[in-house]
A and B are shown apart, each in its own frame.
Chain A
Amino acid sequence: MRIAIVLRLIFTLLFLLLISACELSGGSTDHVHHSQFFAFGTVVEVTQFDSDDERVKRVEDKVKEDFDYMHKAWHPYEPGPLARINSFLPLEVSFSIAPSVLPLIQRGTELADLSEGYFNPAMGGLLQLWGFDRSEDLDKAVPPAAEKIKAFVDDMPTMKDVALNGLDLVGHNKNLFLDFGGFAKGYGVNRAIEEVRKLGIENVIINAGGDLRAIGSKDGKPWVIGIRHPRNNGVIASIDIIGDESVFTSGDYERFFEFEGKRYHHILNPKTGYPGEDFQSVTIVHKNAALADAAATALFVAGKKDWQRIAKKMGVAQVMLIDQQGMVIITPELKARIKLHNVLPDHVTVQAL
């Protein structure tokens, strides 16, 4: 008898649990869809808040198609419009370019100018000199001879050497080689967001290899973005986004090799020809993904001396930098809204621009 009562009690509890489980599975978290695919030379992740599976699939396909198109059009080495431009540039003769690359050149020039040249998409040749264009061989890479780096820096190509007249272009530096890797992801993410908006999608995150733009929300709740620690697999900070914002990070862990105990990474300082030395990572939160992307690169190499001035000039206020000692430097605008995880208070310095 007593056992019967107890059993009844257990079944009642179980029944209640099951009912709430049903509610939960039909509730909001079930409408968050993650999908990942390889495109643009990286892993693109699309996170959507949507209950319509067909539309979710349509958006995925559309984003993949867009990124595949941009990859072909903007790849500096693989056959396509940008590689074609790069093959003509050293000839220093006028030639016509494909319209698909024009906005990239124009926006790249503006951003290079704003960053006082710290962001320099014209120095693809320097990346080649270091071997960062062949990431599969990086294990065997060694730093180039100092004289070669100096010779390149002494005649550093910039976007000012790219003379554009309509769709006609002339290069004025034999070292010119356009590589928009420093902001193509941001620019591409912006374009992909525009495209999915045309499909009526208002709640989505597009994350291209760790750099992302989030729009809308998940059922009125903010998207929660984790920012990875530059030296381990954990998350150093998280931030809630609701509406429309981008989070971009440049880090020395993305592409690098080690030689005689020293790490050489791919974020090269155009003023020295060597990798930026002051930071492990620089994170920017901004409305515009392309600007955030270029600013993360520029501030990384601008270093402790110049990052505030360049940030101000580029119009980015929310910045977090992790220096070589693992100390966090953060602007008050970002500190006010970010959550730091497992960071000791005396390892954090707030610095206004």
Chain B
Amino acid sequence: MNISLLDKMIVAAGVCFCVLVYFWFWQTPSTMANGVEIKSPNKTQYYSLFEDRVLNIVGPLGMTQIEIKDGQARFLSSPCKSQICVLAGWLKQSGQISVCLPNAVSLQVLGDEQYDAINF
């Protein structure tokens, strides 16, 4: 039986598909969102998602406000024109990220993987 290049490609694609399916089924994140990472040009800061606050983050365009409330976080206001970051709304799932490129501020929700509980 001759195996052509097309066959090999199909097999490779099939294997890739199976690997993807494997990750979809097995690696569903069971992570608990518990904190946020806020990056700005000057520094990276970490905050708990369980302490309500409004943070003022300075970027090249001016002040970006990030609000943390009831276990979720969002861009409250931003000096950028597009306001994409503000329109993204609340982030609450571990791994979710929203970025304000013009003002160089990113907000990502962090979670704890593989642990049943976290002591701090």
| A residues whose Cβ falls under 8 Å from a Cβ of B | 2-3, 6-7, 9-10, 13-14, 17-18, 20-21, 24, 29, 32, 34, 36, 38, 42-43, 45, 47, 205, 207, 209-212, 214, 218, 223-228, 232-233, 235, 238, 247-249, 251, 283
Contact = CB atoms under 8 A, between A and B. Distances in A.
A43 B35 CA distance: 13
Contact of B14 (A10, A226, A251): A10
A67 B74 CA distance: 29
Contacts of B32: 34, 36, 45
Interface in B29-62: 30, 32, 35, 37, 46, 50
Chain A interface main SS type = strand
Contacts of B26: 21, 24
Contact of B7 (A3, A225, A235, A251): A3
A6 B10 contact: yes
Interface in B16-35: 17-18, 21-22, 25-26, 30, 32, 35
A228 B10 contact: no
Contact of B115 (A20, A38, A224): A224
14 contacts: A2-B4, A3-B7, A10-B14, A45-B117, A207-B119, A209-B50, A210-B118, A212-B117, A226-B115, A226-B117, A227-B119, A228-B119, A235-B112, A283-B119
Interface of B: 1, 3-4, 6-7, 10-11, 14, 17-18, 21-22, 25-26, 30, 32, 35, 37, 46, 50, 70-71, 110, 112, 114-120
Contacts of A42: 50
Contacts of B7: 2-3, 6
Contacts of A24: 25-26
B3 A2 contact: yes
Contacts of B22: 17
B114 A224 contact: yes
A223 B14 contact: no
Contact of A226 (B4, B70, B118): B118
A9 B30 CA distance: 31
Nearest to B21: A17
A205 B119 CA distance: 11
A13 B120 contact: no
Contacts of B37: 233
Contacts of A225: 115-119
A42 B120 CA distance: 13
Contacts of A36: 32, 71
Contacts of A224: 114-116
A211 B117 CA distance: 10
**Most chain A beta carbons < 10 A, residue from B3, B10, B71, B118:** B118
Nearest to B8: A6
A341 B10 CA distance: 42
A247 B50 contact: no
A247 B11 contact: no
A207 B117 contact: yes
A228 B118 contact: yes
B112 A21 contact: no
The 6 A-B pairs at the shortest CB distance, nearest first, are namely: A226-B115, A228-B120, A210-B120, A10-B14, A21-B25, A43-B50
Given A226-B115, A227-B120, 13 more contacts: A13-B14, A13-B18, A14-B17, A17-B22, A24-B25, A45-B32, A45-B117, A47-B117, A209-B50, A210-B119, A211-B119, A223-B117, A233-B110
A125 B107 CA distance: 39
B117 A205 contact: yes
A45 B120 CA distance: 13
